[in-house]
Amino acid sequence: MHRHRRLPPLSLSLLPPPCGAESPPDERAPGEDHQPSQPSGIFVERPQSATATKGKDITFVAKVDSSNMAKKPTMKWLKGKWLDLGSKAGKHLQFKEVYDRNTKIYTYEMSIIKVVDGDAGSYRCEVTAKNKCDSSPFEVSVQAAPEEQQDNILEAFKRSGDGGEDAGELDFSALLKKREKKPKVVEEAEVDVFLILKDAKPCDYERIAFEYGITDLRGLLKRLKKMKKVEPKKSDAFLRKLDAAYSVDKGKKIHLSVEVTDPNTPVKWLKNGQEVKPSAKYVFESVGNKRTLTINKCNQSDDAAYECVVGEEKSFTEVFVKEPPVTITKLLDDAHTVVGQKVEFEVEVSEEGANVKWMKDGVELNKETAGSRYRFKKDGRRHVLIVNEATKEDIGMYHALTNGGESKAELEVEDKELEVLQSIADLTVKAAEQAVFKCEVSDENVKGKWLKDGVEVRPSDRVKITHFGRTHKLMIDDVKPSDAGDYSFVPDGYALSLSAKLNFLEIKIAYVPREDPPKIHLDAGGPGGDNTITVVAGNKLSLDVQITGEPAPTVCWRKGDQVVPEGEGRVHVESNKSLSSFIIERAEKDDEGRYSISVTNAAGEDVVELNVKIVDVPSPPENVRCTSVGEYSGAIAWDPPAFDGGVPIKGYLMERRKVGSSRWTKLNFDVHESTAYEAKRMIEGVLYEMRVFTVNGVGTSEPSATSQPFMPIAPTGEPTRLTVDDVTDTTCALKWRPPEKIGAGGIDGYIVEYCKEGGDQWVQANEEPVVNNQYRVKGLPVGERMLFRVTAVNIAGRSPPATLPQAVTIREIVENPKIRVPRHLRSKLTVRVGEKVNLVLPFQGKPRPVATWSKDGVLLEDKAVGTRTSDVDAILFIRSAERSHSGKYTLSVQVESALDSADLHIQVVEEPGPPVAVRVADVWGSNAALEWKPPKDDGNCEIIGYTVHKADMKTKDWFTVVEHNRRPGCTVSDLVMGNEYLFRVFSENVCGLSAEPGISQNTAIVTKTGLSHNRAPFKEADVNCSPKFTAPLMDRSVVAGYSTAISCAVRGYPKPKIIWMKNNMIISEDPKFLMQNNQGVLTLNIRKPGVYDGGKYSCRAANDLGEDVVECKLEVHVVQEKGAAAKN
């Protein structure tokens, strides 16, 4: 047995975990619990880079602390530099957001379902909150799924030695359970055995294992094999593969291109594993080695994974279709309801099928968190959030969010109150009669119980309980003495009870004389016993009056002197032996008045008068108006209605709505008694409208006319930097800057006010608000000390005033004249002839300065020179300058006895005339001396130089010899011997060269000095030759539908005649072919060749000396036919 050395501590950085052991912290899969990273910026926890397994799910987590944020942060998940993954949410990409109210931490999760190769790359999450921003990058790599190893127990039974299957002893060590060995801590230097094995040759493995005391060499080599990274195999089929991802806007087209090794190889395109067929939407192109898939008019169905398949190899990519921002076209409306009612929030977006996110108080509402309380409805571009049976918990601010807009609305929920429209009344009935208790409440869905002396009444043959709409009835037939008692109706769910008493009337038989005077038994119950009966307009009045008397009396009803008819008409009487009924159908205002009933018989007469009063709902309030607005409120007022309905007004109900909306929101459920109201909890900058209802004892009126739109806006801040700009005997000019705080209402203008020092009576100087930031107050008393203040005005009213700190004395200020000459006018002003001159000279001086212009000391009277003066400046203008306008112009400004003046020097120039007396003074060798005199007209400015040209008398071509020559003469050198030269000279000033040159009076002849040359006689060369092609035609293979050209080159003289032929047939004037000859280069252009344009093409060149022919073969193939053949 060998003695092994002690194993030094191994470097665990490369040691993979044993099978079944947990992953170390640095290799933990994303989504598992792990310690948060060190906080940085506004992230509490950042997503970590990870390696995902193909086909598995992976989750990345980011946490943001919002405790120091005024608004909810916005999170974006990006891939690459700019690809927003928010619009790609679906089965493959899923996003989740959770908010913890206790810690105020937002948790964001991004999950990739069934990872594919295209998911690898660089990612980034960005969080934004008002003026804060932070980002966290991370990497995602994708590895192939590990192959499952099926253990074969027979392989464990192996024999030791090299003698074959039957040699050696059975070795069962492979079946033993492997245990993780803990490395022993020793003081020897750390050795990385894996690094040594990785770089060693296989023949040295046993030696290294013996040297470092490794007993399980086979297991160590297996682990080493797993550690080796598989080098990416270079593709044999692709020269260039698809990019990892593509992005395209919705409705646009995109090109997916690859380059293949073999230009003749067929390719297949797959979308989500399904083969794509050529169509108008999917267009295949094949040009050389390039293969392109074009997707036209991309939509969300094209957002998928694509593959290009060449043989057994594939290239993967993913296409992301970006949708345009979805905007909100119809905003949410505020809602005001009572407990138990259904509420609908409706919003309309710009795109059908768009995703709308609903939130309440910053918390997202979805099908998982909403439960049965909320329902979501989509109808085209309409999205509706339905709150079923609203409760107090539903109060809050609701938001509808899209990727391009946001709208919010407030929900207010109040406790439900039940209003009693008609209470039950006491009854007195006789034996065997029917007793009916009836009441009416405001809610027709409310049920209740009937009680007698506190005990619930049960229906029977004699007792019937009915509920129809808002009316509840208890009917007792064949009343008995036991039915007498206290009856009450209790609505379910309300602390309310309606009570009445049933009295049983016993009839006692007594002796009645044969004649009994008539008697009217009527108690209308009016106040003070005036028998007033009140009827609501439109309702029916049925007044039953009991009549007694023997014999039966005669009954007569009258309204004034008119007898009410019996049995017919809208107002009539129905009578029997003991009862007379007065009936008014659909009561009207004209039915109001005094009525009388008289009964007579032989024993006497009885008369009773009663008053019928018709009441109605009141008319709506008048003149609804907004009196003032605040930042989040608006005060409105109105006038009482012209008609109160005949009964006192209880109060008013108010409603509001946003301008453009059709939904009105109630502001109060209890009537408001005053004719003024302040609406609160409004949104600043939004236009609102108000309307008011009148409520009396009968009901509610129609709504009033809608008020003028108003906007909750706070007044602006006070204007800033108010100063005095100018003061005269009766005026004062003020200027100021806009307020620092303006708000959403903007500024409509400014109001300027003034008052005397020591007084408090401010006078408004301008009737309408002034828009500019300056104003001159006129009509002020001379010598008075005045205070001034300015206020900004907008729809919300006036701002706080900005007041001058000190009073201003209204008196003209004497100021000596002072002309301020601009810097560019302090030196001489040079102007070209014909140009426009417009000079402005500002000056100061008070009061009433007088400005005059003069030229060269003489008062300016030239009509071609215009002048204009004001209190602050003087203008001198010339429409078209001439040389006569040159000179010194003087502006004089005088205030009383003080005088100030300023001079302006104007020089009008033009091009000079030509030089004169130009001549050749001397000629020697190859040189010539020129002389001339300055031009007679220098253009009103200095001559700055001359330009000299020369010309050979043979060619007459002019060439520049000298430029910017200062002297009136020069020497021209390098002249050619034997030639005769002519010269011309241009003069030059600031405007340029003269229009005409000065021509030399004589010429310069450069003579030859003893040089002679005998030329050989000229012999013309023979250039005639037969045609010969210097560049032949080349065979071509082209794609059908793509224009092509074939070319060759020919040489020959005389110029040969060119003939093009196809399959030995001369090509005639066919528009499909274009023949060109450019300096012997012959080209035949074929426009969009088809399959039948293939064949043998030849070109023949012939002249009188001979001919020559070249030919080539042209193949035309169709890409679609090749793709179809490959699939077959």
Q: Are 989 and 934 in contact (CB under 8 A)?
A: no
Adjacent-strand bridge partners of 91: none
Give pLDDT, residue 1027. 93
The more confidently predicted of residues 549 and 918 is 918
What whole-number distance in Å separates Cα of residue 178 and Cα of residue 156?
14
Query: Which pLDDT belongs to residue 264?
Result: 86
Average pLDDT over residues 620-627: 92
Sheet with 865-869: list strands edge to edge.
Answer: 815-819, 837-846, 873-878, 865-869
Q: Check pLDDT > 60 for residue 475.
A: yes
Are 306 and 317 a contacting pair, CB within 8 Å? Answer: yes
The single residue listed with the structure tokens 């190889």 is 265
pLDDT number for residue 509? 55
Choose the weakest-confidence range: 895-899, 950-954, 1001-1005: 895-899
State residue 254's pLDDT score: 92
333 closest CA partner among 345, 341, 342: 345
| pLDDT recorded at residue 257 | 92
Could you tell me which residues come within 8 angstroms of residue 546 by beta carbon, excluding any fewer than 6 positions away? 520, 521, 522, 578, 579
149 has pLDDT over 60: no
Confidence of residue 720 (pLDDT cuts 50, 70, 90): very high
**pLDDT, position 430:** 82
- pLDDT of res. 968: 92
pLDDT, one tens digit per residue, over 1032-1042 is: 999 999 999 88
- Give the count of beta carbons closer than 10 Å to the beta carbon of residue 1083: 14
Residue 215: is its pLDDT beyond 60? yes
Higher pLDDT, 453 or 175: 453
In the predicted model, is pLDDT for residue 606 greater than 70? Answer: yes
What the block records as the tokens of 902 is 């300023």
Question: Which structure tokens are listed for 295?
Answer: 């997707």
Reported pTM: 0.34
Q: Which residues contact 801 (CB under 8 A, 6 or more apart)?
A: 718, 753, 789, 790, 791
Cα separation, 697 vs 291, in Å, equals 85
Whole-number mean pLDDT of the chain?
A: 82
> Considering Cα of 428, then 431, then 433, then 435, what sign does the dihedral take?
positive
pLDDT at 352: 82
Mean per-residue pLDDT, 279-296: 91
Helix %, strand %, coil % of the chain (to 5): 5, 50, 45
Query: What is the DSSP code string of 704-740?
Result: PPPPPPB---PPPPPPEEEEEEEE-SS-EEEEEE--S
* Mean pLDDT score, 736-747: 84
Q: How many CB atoms lie within 10 A of CB 823?
A: 6
Asked if the model's pLDDT at residue 835 lies above 50, the reply is yes
User: How far is it, in rounded angstroms, from Cα 236 to Cα 627?
Assistant: 83
Phi, psi angle pair for 545, to nearest 5°? -115, 125
Q: Are 597 and 580 in contact (CB under 8 A)?
A: yes
885, β-bridge pairs: none
Note whether 851 and 891 are within 8 A (CB): yes
Q: Quick one: pLDDT band at residue 227, thresholds 50, 70, 90? A: low
| Residue 687: CA count within 13 A, CB half-sphere | 7
Q: If you ran DSSP here, which 8-state letter would residue 203 be given?
A: G
Comparison of pLDDT for 206 and 1080, the residue scoring more: 1080
Residue 553 has a pLDDT of 83
255 or 25: which carries more pLDDT confidence?
Answer: 255
Query: Which position has the higher pLDDT, 541 or 192?
Result: 541
* β-strands 980-989, 1004-1005 pairing: antiparallel
Averaged over 433-445, what is the pLDDT? 86
Residue 649 backbone phi and psi in degrees, to 5: -80, 130
How far, in Å, CA of 690 to CA of 677, rounded?
11
Give residue 247's pLDDT.
Answer: 86
Rg of the chain's alpha carbons, rounded to an integer?
55
**Residue 240 C-beta-side C-alpha neighbours within 13 Å:** 9
Residue 1031 has pLDDT above 50, yes or no: yes
pLDDT at 184 over 80: no
Query: Which of 35-39, 353-357, 522-526 reaches the highest mean pLDDT?
Result: 353-357
Q: 6-20, 435-449, 477-491 — which is least confidently predicted?
A: 6-20
What would the two tokens of residue 134 be?
Answer: 């932070």
CB contact burial 998-1007 (16+ within 10 A = b; e otherwise)? bebeeebebe
Give whichever of 20-29, 191-200, 920-929 has the largest mean pLDDT.
Answer: 920-929
What is the per-residue pLDDT across 768-817, written as a single tens digit (0 to 9) for each?
A: 999 999 999 998 888 888 999 999 988 777 889 999 988 988 887 778 89
The per-residue pLDDT for 156 is 43
Highest mean pLDDT among 21-25, 627-631, 711-715, 916-920: 916-920
> Residue 9 has what pLDDT?
38
Strand 132-143 vs strand 50-53: parallel, antiparallel, or unpaired? parallel
- Asked which of 165-179, 318-332, 350-364, 667-681 is least confident by mean pLDDT, the reply is 165-179
Task: Say how far apart CA 305 and CA 320 lie, in whole Å.
Answer: 9
* pLDDT score recorded for residue 78: 87
Q: Which helix (H) or strand (E) holds 285?
A: strand 282-287
The two tokens of residue 16 are: 């993979």
d(CA 618, CA 653): 13
Where is average pLDDT lowest: 28-42, 533-547, 580-594?
28-42
Q: Is the pLDDT of residue 346 over 60?
A: yes
Which of 338-347, 567-576, 1114-1123 shows the lowest mean pLDDT across its residues? 1114-1123
Residues 431, 436, 442: CA angle, nearest 5 degrees: 165
Asked if residue 64 has pLDDT above 80, the reply is yes
pLDDT at 670: 87
pLDDT bracket for residue 157 (50, 70, 90): very low
- Model confidence over 5-32: pLDDT tens digits? 333 333 333 333 333 333 333 333 333 3
pLDDT of residue 523: 66
Cα distance between residue 900 and residue 815, in whole Å: 12
Query: Are 1091 and 1116 contacting, i.e. CB atoms less than 8 angstroms apart?
Result: yes
207: nearest Cα among 193, 219, 186? 193
Cβ pair 540, 587 in contact under 8 A? yes
Residue 507: per-residue pLDDT: 64
> CA–CA separation, 339 vs 395, rounded Å?
11
Share of the chain above pLDDT 70, in %: 86
Cα 984 vs. chain centroid, distance in angstroms?
71
- Given a cut of 90, whether residue 1030 has pLDDT beyond it is yes
> What does the pLDDT read at residue 162?
45
Structure tokens at 1088: 């969009």
> What confidence tens digit (pLDDT) does each residue in 1043-1098 have?
999 999 999 998 999 999 999 899 888 888 999 999 899 999 999 998 888 999 99
To the nearest 10°, report the CA torsion of 232, 237, 238, 239: 100
- Residue 529 sits at φ, ψ, to 5 deg, of 70, 30
The fraction of the chain above a pLDDT of 90, given in percent, is 28
| Mean pLDDT across 340-364 | 86
What is the total residue count of the chain?
1128
pLDDT of residue 62: 92
Name the E strands within 80-222. 83-84, 93-100, 105-112, 121-129, 132-143, 158-159, 170-171
Confidence of residue 265 (pLDDT cuts 50, 70, 90): confident
Please list, residue by residue across 348-377, b when 16 or more beta carbons sit within 10 angstroms of its beta carbon and e when fewer do: bbebeebbbebbbeeebbeeeebeeebeee
State how far the Cα of 1020 lies from the Cα of 121, in Å rounded to an integer.
77
pLDDT tens, position by position, 387-414: 988 888 888 889 898 877 888 888 888 8
Which of the 8 DSSP states describes residue 453?
A: T
CA distances from 148 to 29, 145, 157, 335, 761 (A): 20, 9, 21, 61, 98
Distances (CA, A) of 145 to 52, 117, 142, 221, 937: 9, 11, 9, 21, 97
What would the pLDDT profile of 45-62 be if each residue is shown by its tens digit?
Answer: 999 999 999 888 999 999
Judged against a pLDDT cut of 80, whether residue 173 lies above it is answered with no
Using CA atoms, how far apart are residues 34 and 23, in angstroms rounded to an integer? Answer: 12
